[in-house]
Amino acid sequence: MYDFAYHKPTSVADAVKILSADPDARPISGGQTLLPALKHRLNKPTSVVDLSGIAELKGIKRNGDTLVIGALAKHVEVSNSPEVKAAIPALAMMAGTIGDTQVRNRGTIGGSVANNDPAADYPSAVLGLGATVVTDKRRIAADDFFQGMFTTALEPGELLVAIEFPIPEKAGYAKMRNPASRYVMAGVFVAKTTSGVRVVVNGAGPGVFRQAEMEKALSASWSEAAVAGIKQSADGLNGDIHGSAEYRAHLVTVMAKRAVAAAG
Amino acid sequence: MDVVTPFEGIGASVRRKEDLRFLSGRGQYTDDINRPNQTYAYILRSPHAHARIAGIDFAAARSMPGVVAIFTGADMPDLGGIPCGWQIHNKDGSPMAEPMHPVLAVGKVRFVGDAVAVVIAESRTQAKDAAEAINVDYDVLPAVAGVEAAIAPGAPNVHDDVPGNVCYDWHIGDSAVNATAFAGASKVIEFDLVNNRLVPNAMEPRAAIGDFDRTTDEYTLFTTSQNPHVIRLLMGAFVLHLPEHKLRVVAPDVGGGFGSKIFHYAEEAIVTWAAGKVCRPVKWTADRTESFLTDAHGRDHVTKARLALDANGKFLALHVQTLANMGAYLSTFATSVPTYLYATLLSGVYTTPTVYAEVKAVFTNTVPVDAYRGAGRPEATFLLERLVDVAARETGIDRVEIRRRNFIPADAFPYQTPVALQYDSGDYKATLDMGLEAAGWAEFEQRRAEAKARGKLRGIGISTYVEACGIAPSAVVGSLGARAGLYEVGTIRVHPTGSVTVLTGTHSHGQGHETTLAQLVTDRLGVPLAQVDIVHGDTAKIPFGMGTYGSRSLAVGGSAMVKAMDKIVMKARKIAAHLMEASVEDVEFDRGTFRVAGTDKTKSWGEIALTAYVPHNYPIEELEPGLDETAFYDPKNFTYPGGCHICEVEIEPETGQVTVVNFTAVDDVGRVINPMIVEGQVQGGVCQGIGQALLESAIYDENGQLLSASFMDYQMPRAEDLPPVSVATHTTLCTHNPLGVKGCGEVGAIGSPPAVINAVVDALKEYGVRHIEMPATPAKIWNIINAGHKLAAE
Amino acid sequence: MPQVTLTVNGTTHTAEVEGRTLLVELLRETLRLTGTHVGCDTSQCGACVVHVDGASVKSCTILALQANGAQVTTIEGLAKADGALHPMQEAFREYHALQCGFCTPGMVMSAIDLVQKHPDGMSEKEIREGLEGNLCRCTGYHNIVKAIAAAQDVMHGRRAELAPAAE
């Protein structure tokens, strides 16, 4: 790791001030993605801004039909939260399967969503539930937030504060893990929301994406059978030593069925 | 019988003596050691698989903070190359090609990870920072990673002085007899397969600390080694040209080896040599990425085989042609693995009258390949046990029945195979029968049907195997090209109050020697286990030793201890005879008590020990004081563990995911000293075998880049990937060592991979699949199922 | 250089560290608590697991400064002052759940957290799943799983003493 200055602000304003002043400063929350990258010297931040002391970023609460999860909510907290379990059980279930126990004890939802690793779990739920990403400056619809591999609508110095999840009628998630890394090889998040059915694929492609054909089929008939016959095109999907694009495309259909089954 | 400690001797599942320090964080592994005034080494490695080094500019790096020194291969003109310990001869009798393996690259780099320069600095990070500032000018050359590509015409030469990349072209067996047998066969099964390349991945990454004492001119190397004396010999005599008495090698607690820590590695020579240059201790610790890029890999064979059968399914002849990847340089025992540890095992547990094998060892632009748990024997077993299953299917003979028809019968021992080995004992039918019973083989079809109702494909597979371990005798291996002896050394040091220190040349890195070897002493001398300490891993303390690999520690090292205890008991009886005024012949010794036969006159162990060191009333004219004996034991033969492994799997057709649902191992490891430890060794070995069969694979791209270079891409078996493993033993004693022991460290990894793949192929039998290369990943299996569905649809 | 103050195994330490210093480096190099090991560089093997404020974390994936003010427990801090082992340590010995011992400290620390998080007890399958963040190359996990199953009964007070392993 290259050395860096360490800051631990106690307010969003202070954090943003440091991050805005220095384009090479990086925020850190759980650090479960950032630190491994820094250890391999893939990144050379001048300073690291530890967000863990900022109370405004914490907390999980329900506001009517919306579940608001603070950026600093750890995976273990989301997984165990009675509010999340009651409102969006699929989200709690997902949080309980991210990485491993130790990752879940440190990693946060804000860090995962802001990082937008194509093989991460959370982005599929954010997009699949049509959530709103709240930053220190604005509110960004999930459909506008994710912009491909490791790229989001966040501007330099802009800080993710919370995510607002509209509570769906039902939702489900299923994934096949990369056997070695345990990141997502192919996953599908399905949700039946007030604004319609959403089906999101993660892991299989260079970023999360909505599966329009499956959305249409599930809108017509919410059942495993509705998606069982829909083949995901392998074009543009990832292929590597763990599986071809064709295999991942096949898994999308399988995981879609399982996600629907999980949603009930 | 007056047994002092009835539950601590041979056969007792004594809890391990070493566990307390490991469980409380008091183990001392190499990286836990810091020497006063220590510096840190970082090794700059080649990012290219094959390149000429046009220049190295480290002027800027040299002046960076904390840098003490920077060395390249050019600074080491007087050092020897890293030696290979076994010289194989070609078919024509000429010696193998043995290109120079410099400690730091000279002129050329030959694999990604090849050591180019070493930076020594005040801290690890400073050394790494400076290494990044070194500018190496590489002329990148075409590279070759696979064995078939490496011997193809026009392939790049890994070593300029080895055109065609063939290290040796060796054979064993009588080709004419073999050909005749094939001519008379009623059926010939042809079968090609690959044995996948593996990364050993002991959990402790390698580390080394070199130290130099200017007062005495003595060098000390602390290293993660399975055999410190061998490292001292190889590094001292061949690389650094240091005499043994000026070089001490310490292998403290070592966090797993599985073969990968047998070998002498460049980093050991680098830190030792550099410590002398900078006159300060130099420490190097690998990170996991370096382990992937520089620890010797295992397996990597490509094989074509033919099996001849008569009309009754009796094996008439086996013909095998294997290409074995050596990697870029010859690692310490690399050359022996695909020859004397592989081809000699191709008779297996069967009476095949003729076996002929040709092995070509090939250089490639990859990490050196050497022994990994089982070393050669898993490759032989995988080939045979897959081949037998294919033969069973293609002759229509039941796969258990075809094995029974061809087994070496229990009354045929000693049994001379056509490939040099003479098995001393075994009962393959007994382990098979026990395995079938324990695995519920007869009821399997019900389980298959039940699984099918749940939408799962269930299969069962069997493997019956023999292996050879405790490699020996020295004279024989010497005649076959080994450049070392393969004996072992044990010292029994009885202290004045009767407690015992054992010095053993074997080394424990997980096997539990501090317990098992102590049990031998307790069993024989009657000294309580708590009063027996096993000392290993330090050339300054132990007379000599060949270390631990090839399941040799108990069979060879334990036998040396028995020989030393024979001397102790003989001397102690003389002392007892003197004290009890009896003749030596009349003094009996049984676990702690000396007795004049037929009388109640006795002397205790403690009395004799004290007398030996306080010889006031002592036969001083005939006997020296003291009770401290050393024995060297050179075995008469290998030992031959064997057994039966049965694996049951379920496949989820939608994803191709394989789950091992049952695994049964019945092994004959000879006499069992500590059943708990044997069970643990077998379970661990089986799980490494399951890892090879289903999960693990070192994959290079065509440019020689290792694609699976971290745990992110190399699938290490996790708890949830593995089943409970049911272990049983069935003992036939080894006939030529005093303990009757055979060895248990490798049986799990040797017997299991074909059992797993046989089960997977069985589960997929409706898809007409003949073979699946390891690892049988979900993607691979889905491809087969998917292709099968497509065929059905057409 | 920045300072970090934290309590390790009941003793409070203050040390100067770099921004980049990892907790495991502080433990091993500064405090010389070498029972916590480093087995990989991708935050996967779990040899470095310690407890930070009661939760298991990979000490190779947390900056020392992030642990400022924290209560840290390492393998060295598990046994009682009189040397009596924690039930998990005892179970690992009784069930032969360790061989080379390198993964053991992290495995034990993870196992304790796992048991504490499951007051109703875990099945074999749940224990295996719960060990997803820890790699062992020696044992094949068989005996580790048994040891944890036995230790949980003692830790949850369902048994006064560890059930002995079958001979």
Closest partner CB to C132 (pick from A3, A4, A101)? A101
The nearest CA of chain C is from the CA of A212 a distance in Å of 34
Q: Considering only alpha carbons, which residue of chain C is nearest residue B721? A: C128
Does A105 touch chain C if contact means CB atoms closer than 8 Å? Answer: yes
E strand residue ranges, C65-164: 71-73
Q: Determine the structural domain holding residue C126 and report its residue range.
A: 87-155
User: Do B563 and B467 share a structural domain?
Assistant: no
Residue B256 is nearest to which of C34, C92, C137, comparing CB atoms?
A: C137
Neighboring chain C residues of A38 at a CB cutoff of 8 Å: 20
β-strand B282-285 against B39-45: which pairing, if any? parallel
What pLDDT, on a 0 to 100 scale, did the predictor assign at position C166?
82
> What is residue B2's predicted lDDT score, i.e. its pLDDT?
44
Q: Are B199 and B708 in contact (CB under 8 A)?
A: yes
Same structural domain, B657 and B777: yes
Q: Which domain holds residue B778?
A: 301-471+637-793
Q: Are residues B306 and B434 in the same domain?
A: yes
pLDDT tens column, B130-151: 999 999 999 999 999 999 999 9
Looking at the domain assignment, is residue C166 inside a domain? no
Number of Cβ pairs closer than 8 Å across B and C?
179
To which H or E segment does residue B492 belong? Answer: strand B488-494
- Count CA atoms closer than 13 A to B536's CA, side-chain side: 32
What six digits make up the tokens of C92? 């690992």
Quick check: A170 pLDDT over 80? yes
3-state secondary structure B523-570: HHHCCCHHHEEEECCECCCCCCCCCCCCCCHHHHHHHHHHHHHHHHHH
Query: Is C8 inside a domain boundary?
Result: yes
Residue B622, domain CATH: 3.30.365.10
Specify the pairing of strand B422-423 against strand B457-466: unpaired
The shortest CB-CB distance from B713 to any of A241, A243, A254 is to A241
Q: Is residue C160, in this structure, part of any structural domain at all?
A: no
Over residues A82-88, the mean pLDDT reads 98
- Which pLDDT tens digit goes with each residue over B689-747? 999 999 999 999 999 999 999 999 999 999 999 999 999 999 999 999 999 999 999 99
B424/C17 Cα distance (integer angstroms): 62
Sheet strand arrangement including B488-494: B532-535, B500-504, B488-494, B628-633
Contacts of B655 in chain A (CB under 8 A): 176, 251, 254
Chain A contact probe: residue of C3, C20, C24, C56 with most A CBs at under 10 A: C20
Looking at the fold, whether C65 and C108 belong to one and the same domain comes out as: no
Q: Is residue B1 over pLDDT 60?
A: no
| Cβ-Cβ contacts under 8 Å, B716 against chain A | 180
* Interface mutation vs chain A, best among C5, C16, C62, C134, most A CBs within 10 Å: C62
B99 has a pLDDT exceeding 60:
yes
pLDDT at B6 over 60: no
Residues B225 and B320 placed together within one structural domain of the fold:
no
Would you state the pLDDT for residue A204?
97
Flag whether pLDDT at B587 surpasses 80: yes
- Output the pLDDT for position B791: 60
Å between C158 CA and nearest CA of chain B: 24
> Which residue in B has a C-alpha nearest to residue C43's C-alpha?
B711
Share of chain A above pLDDT 90, in %: 99
Q: What is the largest CA-CA distance in chain A?
A: 56
Phi, psi of B502 (to 5 degrees): -105, 130
Is A37 an interface residue toward B (CB < 8 Å)? no
Nearest-angstrom CA–CA distance, C116 and C19: 32
In the prediction, which pLDDT does B785 show?
A: 93
Q: What are phi and psi of A191, to 5 degrees?
A: -150, 140
In angstroms, the CA C56 to CA A105 distance is 7
Calculate mean pLDDT across residues B71-96: 97
Q: Which residue of A has its CA nearest to B714?
A: A180
User: For position B347, what pLDDT does the model report?
Assistant: 98
pLDDT at residue B323 is higher than 60 = yes
Q: Tell me, what CATH number does C67's domain have?
A: 3.10.20.30
Give CA–CA dist A113/A154, Å, rounded.
10
pLDDT for B793? 56
Counting the structural domains of chain B, the total is 3
Centre a 10 Å sphere on the Cβ of residue B302 and count the other Cβ atoms it contains: 18
Q: In sequence order, which residues have a C-beta less than 8 Å from that of residue A44 and are 6 or more positions away?
A: A2, A24
Cβ proximity of A166 and A130 under 8 Å:
yes
User: Quick check: is C142 in a domain?
Assistant: yes
- Nearest CB among B711, B721, B782 relative to A247 is that of B782
Among chain C residues, CA nearest to B17 = C93
How many residues appear in chain C? 167
Inter-chain contact C41–A182, Cβ cutoff 8 Å?
Answer: no
Higher local confidence (pLDDT), B192 or B591:
B192
C72 and chain A: CB distance < 8 Å anywhere? Answer: no
State the average pLDDT over residues B341-370: 98
**Binary contact (B720, C128; C-beta < 8 A):** yes
For position C24, what pLDDT does the model report?
98
Are the beta carbons of B288 and C41 separated by less than 8 Å? yes
Whether residues B649 and B629 fall in one domain: no
Task: With both helix axes pointing from N to C terminus, report the angle between C87-94 and C142-155 in degrees, rounded to the nearest 10.
Answer: 140
**pLDDT average, residue stretch A182-195:** 96
Indicate whether B794 pLDDT > 60. no
Q: How many CB atoms lie within 10 A of CB B666?
A: 27
Is residue B785 a part of any domain in this protein? yes
Strand partners, B654: none
pLDDT (0 to 100) of residue B7 = 82
The model's pLDDT over B471-481, given as tens digits with 9 standing for 90+, comes to: 989 999 999 99
Mean pLDDT, residues B25-29 taken together: 97
Mean pLDDT of chain C: 97
C109 domain residue, yes or no: yes
Asked whether C72 and C8 are in contact (CB, 8 A), the reply is yes
CATH class of domain segment(s) A5-166: alpha beta
Q: Which residues of C touch B720 (CB under 8 A)?
A: 125, 128-129, 131-132
Return mean pLDDT, chain B.
96
Q: What is the ipTM of this complex?
A: 0.98
What proportion of chain B, given as a percentage, has pLDDT over 90? 97
Whether residue B647 lies inside any domain: the answer is yes
- Rounded CA separation B323/B328 (Å): 15
Report the gap between the CA of B131 and the closest CA in chain A (Å).
13
Average pLDDT, whole number, for chain A? Answer: 97
pLDDT computed for residue B3 by the predictor:
45
Domain chopping of chain A, boundaries: 5-166, 170-263
For chains A and C, CB pairs below 8 A equal 76
Same domain for B137 and B219, yes or no, is yes
Taking an 8 Å cut-off on Cβ atoms, the answer to whether C93 and B23 are in contact is: yes
Counting residues of chain B whose pLDDT is more than 70, the rounded percentage is 99
**What confidence tens digit (pLDDT) does each residue in B237-255 have?**
999 999 999 999 999 999 9
**Nearest-CA distance A255 → chain B (Å):** 9
Three-state secondary structure call for residue C102: coil
Q: Quick check: is C167 in a domain? A: no
Would you say residue B735 lies in a domain? yes
Cα three-residue angle A171-A175-A177, rounded to 5 degrees: 155
Same domain, C147 and C97: yes
Cα C44 from Cα B49, distance rounded (Å)? 27
Find the mean pLDDT for residues A169-186. 96
Domain count, chain C: 2
Chains that touch C (3 or more CB pairs under 8 A): A, B
Write out chain A residues lying below 8 Å of C65, CB-based: 6, 8, 50
Instruction: Label residue B366 by pLDDT band (50, 70, 90).
Output: very high
A182: chain C residues, CB-CB within 8 Å: 132
State the pTM of this model.
Answer: 0.97
Mean pLDDT along residues A129-143: 98
The DSSP bridge partners found for residue A66 are A63, A166
Binary contact (A102, C62; C-beta < 8 A): no
| pLDDT higher than 80, residue B4 | no
pLDDT at B5: 44
Residue C71 is assigned to a structural domain of this protein: yes
CATH, residue C95: 1.10.150.120
Tell me which H or E stretch contains B400. helix B399-406
* Inter-chain touch C75–B253, beta carbons under 8 Å: no
Q: Which residues contact B794 (CB under 8 A, 6 or more apart)?
A: none
pLDDT score for B94 = 98
Pair B121, B244 in one domain: yes
Instruction: Report how far residue B642's alpha carbon sits from residue B431's, in angstroms, rounded to the nearest whole number.
Output: 8
Same structural domain, B528 and B611: yes
Q: Closest partner residue to A241 among B708, B711, B778, by Cβ?
A: B708
Length of chain B: 794
Contacting partners of chain A (3+ CB pairs under 8 A): B, C
Chain A nearest CA to C164, separation (Å):
29
- Of B585, B603, B633, at which residue does a domain stop? B633
Whether residue C62 and residue A39 make contact (CB cut-off 8 A), yes or no, is no
> Which positions in chain C touch A32 (Cβ < 8 Å)?
43, 61
3-state secondary structure A124-174: HHHHHCCCEEEECCCEEEHHHHECCCCCECCCCCCCEEEEEEECCCEEEEE
C106-123: average pLDDT:
97
Report pLDDT for B77: 96
Rounded to whole angstroms, the Cα distance separating A31 from B190 reads 54
How close C17 gets to chain B, by Cα (Å)? 13
Nearest to C75 among B25, B201, B205 (CB): B25
The residue among B613, B633, B653 that closes a domain is: B633
pLDDT in tens, A49-65: 999 999 999 999 999 99
* pLDDT average, residue stretch B95-109: 98
Please tell us whether the domain made up of A170-263 is placed in CATH 3.30.390.50: yes
B458 and B500 fall within a common domain: no
Mean pLDDT of A188-209: 96
- Interface check for A177 against chain B (CB to CB < 8 A): the answer is no
Does residue C76 have a pLDDT over 60? yes
Interface check A10 vs C, CB under 8 A: no
With respect to residue B13, please indicate whether it lies within any of the assigned structural domains: no
- Who among B655, B711, B783 is closest to A180 (CB)? B711
- The distance of C167 to chain A (nearest Cα, Å) reads 33
Contacts of B714 in chain A (CB under 8 A): 180
- How distant, in Å, are the alpha carbons of B101, B108, B173, B703 from that of B159? 10, 9, 30, 17
Mean pLDDT of B456-462: 98
In terms of domains, do B672 and B565 share one?
no
Question: Do residues C110 and A101 lie in contact, with contact meaning Cβ atoms separated by under 8 Å?
Answer: yes
